[in-house]
Amino acid sequence: MPATRIVVNIPDEKAYDVRVGSGIIENLGSRLREIEAVANSPQLLVISDDQVAPLYLDQVKSSLKKARYQVSDIVIPAGESSKSLELAGEIWEAMAGLGIGRDCGVVALGGGVVGDLAGFVGSTFMRGLPVVQVPTTLLAMVDSSVGGKTGVNLEAGKNLVGTFHQPVYVCADVDTLQTLTDREWRCGLAEIAKASVIDSDDFFFWMLDEQTALSERKVEAVNEAITRSVIFKAGVVAADKTESHGVRECLNYGHTLGHAIEVLAGYGTFSHGQAVAEGMRFAARLAHRLLGTSSELVQTQDQLLDGLGLNPVVWSASPEAMLNAMKKDKKVRGARVRFVLPRDIGVWETQEVGDELLLEALGEWQRTKQILASNA
Ligand code: NAD
Ligand code: GLY
C-alpha cells in the first residue's frame, strides 16, 4: 500500500508533510535530504525513550546514516515523568557537548512524551532547531506529533511550560504500531473517536462501520483512521495555531471530566484514553441537557466507544471533588468550568457551566457509576 501524504498548511508557517505508511522509516534519511530545513544539516540528534529505542532506534539511525547524516542519540526513561525541566536541562547540556549547532536538527522517535520533550528542547536550544517527528504510538500519530505543541510538566500541573514549534516533517510508520500494548492502542482510538465526533458525519459513521477492524488493528482501517485524524487535526491547527481563536479547544472534547478522573483516581489507574472516553460520554449527556443534543447521538457515541473497547469506567468520586479537580485544570478560565459540547456530530460549541448545574450532573454521573459498581 503506498504511503499517504498530507500537507499541513498553517498560516505564517512553512508547510510540512505528514506521511502515513508502512515501512517508511527506511526512507526517512533520503526524505529529510529533500526538506530544506534539514537538507544540509551536518548532524541529526535522535531523541527516544528506553522502550522505543531497543525496537526502532537502529532502524532510524541506519536510514539517516545511509543518507550520509552524522547521527547522535539520547535515550530517556519511558514515561510521563520524563517530561520535566530537569531532564530538558540535561538534554540541553548534552546537546552542547555533542556539538549540536544551529544548522543541526532533532528527530523525536517515540510517543507523545518523547515528541513533546524533544519538541521542547529542539524549539529552545539555540533559539530553535528544526524538529522531525517520528511518532510510534497511535496517539502520537493522530494527535501530538501534528500541530507544534511542545512542553514539559511542572509540579503545579501538566504541560505548563512549552512552546508552539511546528515540525518540519512527520513520519508515521504504521509498522511501529505492531509492538504497542492494547492499553496504548485504545488511548489512540479514544483520540480518533473524539476527532470523529467533532469533525463530521462522514468520519463518525465511518468509525462506527470500522470499529471492529480498528480494534483488531486491520491495516487498511488503521491507515485510513490515521489519515482522517491528521487531516482533521491539520485543519483545526490551521484555523487556530495558538489556541487563541476558540477553534483548537475543540480538541479538548472529553478532556475536562477525563483530566479530573486521572487526577483523582491517580495517574495510571485508568488510561488516558479510558478517561477521555468517559469524559466524552459525560459531555454528550451534558449537551443533551443543555443544548438539546439528541439522545441518539449520546447512544451512538456510547456504541462507538464500547465497540472500540473503551468501556465506561467503574469508579467515581464525589461531585464536589470532581468540580474542584476541574477548576484546578489550567484550561479553566475564571470561576466556571468550560466544556466542549456536541450539538450534533460535526457541530460543537464551548459552554461555561455553572457550579450548581454541574454538581447536579456530576451527582447523576456518580449514581450511575455506583449502580455499575454494585452490579460488577
Ligand atoms: P508515551 O509517549 O508515554 O507512550 C506510551 C508508552 O508506549 C511508553 O511507555 C512508550 O515507551 C511506549 N511506546 C511508544 N511507542 C511504542 C511502540 N511502537 N511499541 C511499544 N511501545 C511503545 O504516551 P503517548 O500516549 O504516546 O503520549 C502521551 C503524551 O502526549 C502526554 O504527555 C500528553 O500530554 C502528550 N500529548 C501532546 C499533545 C500535543 O499536541 N503536543 C497532544 C496529545 C497528547
Ligand atoms: N491538545 C492537543 C492540541 O491542541 O494539539
Atom of ligand 2 nearest to the CA of 255: 1
C-alpha cell at 155: 509540579
Query: What end-to-end distance do the CA atoms of the chain give, in Å?
Result: 44
Which fold, 226-375?
A: Dehydroquinate synthase-like, alpha domain (1.20.1090)
C-alpha cell at 360: 447536579
| Domains 4-180 and 226-375 fall in the same CATH topology | no
CA 375 to ligand 1 center in whole angstroms: 34
Along the 376 residues of the chain, how does pLDDT read in single tens digits? 889 999 999 999 999 999 999 999 999 999 999 999 999 999 999 999 999 999 999 999 999 999 999 999 999 999 999 999 999 999 999 999 999 999 999 999 999 999 999 999 999 999 999 999 999 999 999 999 999 999 999 998 899 999 999 999 999 999 999 999 999 999 999 999 999 999 999 999 999 999 999 999 999 999 999 999 999 999 999 999 999 999 999 999 999 999 999 999 999 999 999 999 999 999 999 999 999 999 999 999 999 999 999 999 999 999 999 999 999 876 666 679 999 999 999 999 999 999 999 999 999 999 999 999 999 8
Of 10, 149, 240, the residue with max ligand 2 atoms within 8 A of its CB, to mutate for a pocket test, comes to: 149
Atom of ligand 2 nearest to the CA of 243: 4
Of 10, 241, 251, 329, the residue with max ligand 2 atoms within 8 A of its CB, to mutate for a pocket test, comes to: 251
Ligand 2 pocket (Cβ < 6 Å) reads: 143, 147, 149, 248, 251
CATH class of the 4-180 domain in this structure: alpha beta
CA 233 to ligand 2 center in whole angstroms: 9
58 contacts 99 by C-beta, under 8 angstroms: no
Domain ranges of the chain: 4-180, 226-375
Long-range pairs of 238-242 with CB within 8 A, sequence gap ≥ 24: 238/8, 238/9, 238/10, 238/11, 241/10, 241/11, 241/12, 241/13, 241/147, 241/148, 241/164, 242/164
CA 109 to ligand 1 center in whole angstroms: 10
Distance of alpha carbon 211 from alpha carbon 44, whole angstroms: 39
Q: State the pTM of this model.
A: 0.97
Q: Where are the alpha helices (DSSP H) in 20-173?
A: 28-32, 36-39, 53-66, 85-97, 112-124, 138-139
C-alpha cell at 72: 547522535
